[in-house]
Chain A
Amino acid sequence: MIGGDSAELSRGQTGRHTKARTLAGMLWEEHVVASLDSDTDLLAIDRLLLHERTGGVALKSLDEAGRQVLAPGQVFATMDHIVDTFPGRSDKTLMPTGTAFLTAMREGAHKHGITLFDLHDPRQGIVHVISPEQGIVLPGVTLVCPDSHTCTQGAFGALAWGIGSTEAEHALATMTLRADRPRDMRITIDGALGRGVTAKDLALHVIGHLGSGGAKGYIVEFAGSAVRSLDMEARMTLCNMATELAAFGAIIAPDGTTFAYLQGRPFAPVGDQWEAALADWQRLSSDEHAAFAIEHRFDAANVAPMISWGTSPQHAMPLNAMVPTAQSLQGSVGQADYDRALAYMGLSPQIPLLGMPIDAAFIGSCTNSRISDLRRAAAILDGQHVAPGIRAICVPGSTQVKAAAEAEGLDRIFRDAGFEWREAGCSMCFFAGGESFGAQQRVVSSTNRNFESRQGPGTRTHLASPETVAASAIAGRIADPRFREEASA
């Protein structure tokens, strides 16, 4: 921990049927089909999302066992993980064997009657971008997907968590999962974020303080005035990175902002059903006296624009700080891991990251690729050009986000600034064997993971907000987006 302003208030088991319930506890109890033992319940699943990376293998395994999909209407699939993001893309992928994944997903979806947002479907995109966009995630539902960033969708007051392929197969066959009840943690963030400070910075701030295992075994409820004042897209960014705390999931109580976002979305209820749903959703909040096993508090005013310096999202620091020393990390990072991270990143202790030359800039991923992210980055790029030699890429999170951006002329701003303007998908958030950044290349990225070789063998990733990525692309060096705004004001 780096001098945290959070406090652990109390520890202990929360009772299973105490009267005062947390939101997550309430949703859990309401979905219990059967109690299997003191820790494990058979839980009803309301929504299952698949993608081509793991969807095909789950359906194939289901077929081999001779099992059926119980409720195809509650299952949705998309192409995002492997599909190329180049204009004019097809089933042929840069990843050498990628086509087989696309084909298997498509054939499996057709065979079992699962709605698929295929390659040329206008609804296609990253699973955690399109599900909210289409109104597939709703307050109060249980939603699972074989993807660790499924916690993103807890932003809607849903119980949403990432699973493996076998669990996906289990959910396909039974619309249930055998799940261990997580404990409750609340992270309350009050106050107002400073100018130019975003939900991404807030997420990195929290992870930097609590560590990459800081919420292991917990479902994290984000609460407080700073969280309330975030729009839905910012709430998704915050919840997205809960998996980097090893959390089971994240959740935010739904409110007027949530309902306004969802109304009129294609798979959201309409008419009388909308009214009935809305009435039901009003009750979705933690009881006033609900007991959380752990509570942390943060003041939004203390959050700076952040950047990662190492190879874990917990290796995060304020943009204008110096790379920490091993001692200053107070044991939260072991000496060997610290040395390894610094060597991998080509950095030394106590040097500034601001001004560090970069090779590439990437805006995209389920963390930061929605229309508001692109608008904020475009505001910085408008009338500017990326520095010579910098490879800059923008990958909208969905085909709809791309279309909306084009309707507003944002694509022109990105292109004129020297950014590649791509089709929607996960793209270079991770290296799947196709496209990558080079070894030792330094990339400022709006993504969620700075693991070794995540974006390419030997690639050095610095996580930051889309604004910081944009400002850094222009400068050709790690740059503070706030100074650029001032200079041009």
Chain B
Amino acid sequence: MTPLVALEAKAVPLMRDNVDTDAIIPSREMKSVSKTGLADGLFAGWRYVAQGSRTPDPAFVLNDARFVDAQILISGANFGCGSSREHAVWALAEYGFRVVVAPSFSPIFRANCVRNGVAPISLPEEAVSQLAAAAERGETIALDLHAMTIRSGAACFTFAMEDEARTMLMEGLDAIELTLKRRTEIAAFREADKVKRPWVYLKK
């Protein structure tokens, strides 16, 4: 995973609450047993004029020429709710987004972001609105994960993020690799637990 410490980029405002993962990547766009080939399907239901079509709908904000090359997505509350499909994050990342800013996220979506090098930044609604307005004006937005700040012009907002998630993002770590270093601890836990709860440890 590519580490993400700081980023200054254009942002695109998609100001709706409850943007669900079915909207981010419709199930019909998840065509192969793969984590890639998803960018074209991103927001397909809103982005194109008709289902199955690839003709951009000019009314959808992602198709606005001002926001080409945006790497930051700004949206409403409860972003990424619904289905747990990680394809939603894979599609956002493949399209080019490294950061999503919203008042709140669905917990599964948020965890999926961290595992894929996309920073989920929660800010109060007022701050999100200010950043969205800045994005509308074509201003860039700067994220600093180390300082836990996001700024646009003179406005600077601080956000909170768990140490674990922040480290994962900043160092581009593979969680599985990290956990496998604790093999011995895991084996010891399982051996001890097996004595207490043998019925849990089904054998194949």
Which A residues are within 8 Å of any B CB, using their own CB? 33-34, 36-40, 42, 44, 46, 53-54, 56-57, 60-61, 65, 67, 71-74, 95-97, 100-101, 104, 113-115, 138, 140-141, 146-148, 150, 162-167, 169-170, 173-176, 178, 180, 182, 212-213, 216-217, 244, 246-248, 267-269, 273-274, 276-277, 280, 312, 333-334, 336-337, 340, 430-433, 449, 451-454, 457
Contact = CB atoms under 8 A, between A and B. Distances in A.
Contact of A39 (B45, B83, B162): B162
Given A42-B182, A213-B104, A337 B17 contact: yes
B32 A246 contact: no
Interface in B176-197: 176, 178-180, 182-183, 185-186, 189-190, 193, 196-197
A54 B204 contact: no
Contact of A33 (B15, B111, B186): B186
A40 B161 CA distance: 11
B200 A46 contact: yes
Contacts of A274: 199
B163 interface: yes
Nearest to A75: B204
Interface string B13-24: 001111010110
B33 A246 contact: no
Contact of B164 (A40, A141, A216): A40
Interface in B23-43: 23, 26-35
Interface residues of B, number: 63
Contact of A138 (B17, B34, B199): B199
Given A42-B182, A336-B15, 9 more contacts: A34-B182, A39-B162, A141-B200, A147-B84, A150-B84, A166-B176, A176-B182, A213-B78, A431-B28
Nearest to A182: B107
B51 A164 contact: no
Contacts of B203: 73
Interface hub of B16, B34, B86 (most chain A Cβ within 10 A): B86
B81 interface: yes
Contacts of A247: 107
Contacts of A212: 18, 78, 81
Interface of B: 15-18, 20, 22-23, 26-35, 45, 51, 76-78, 81-86, 89, 104-108, 111-112, 115-116, 162-165, 175-176, 178-180, 182-183, 185-186, 189-190, 193, 196-204
Contacts of B23: 451-453
B18 A337 contact: yes
B186 A267 contact: no
Given A39-B163, A163-B84, A433-B28, A457 B176 contact: no
A97 B54 CA distance: 19
Nearest to B166: A37
Contacts of A216: 78, 104-107
20 contacts: A34-B182, A37-B163, A39-B162, A40-B165, A42-B179, A42-B182, A97-B32, A104-B33, A170-B175, A175-B190, A178-B179, A212-B81, A213-B78, A246-B78, A246-B106, A277-B197, A432-B30, A433-B31, A452-B45, A457-B51
Contact of B163 (A38, A61, A244, A433): A38
A457 B45 CA distance: 8
B104 A277 contact: no
B26 A166 contact: no
A337 B45 CA distance: 17
Given A57-B33, A138-B200, A178-B164, A453 B179 contact: no
A174 B163 contact: no
A431 B26 CA distance: 8
Contacts of B106: 148, 216, 246
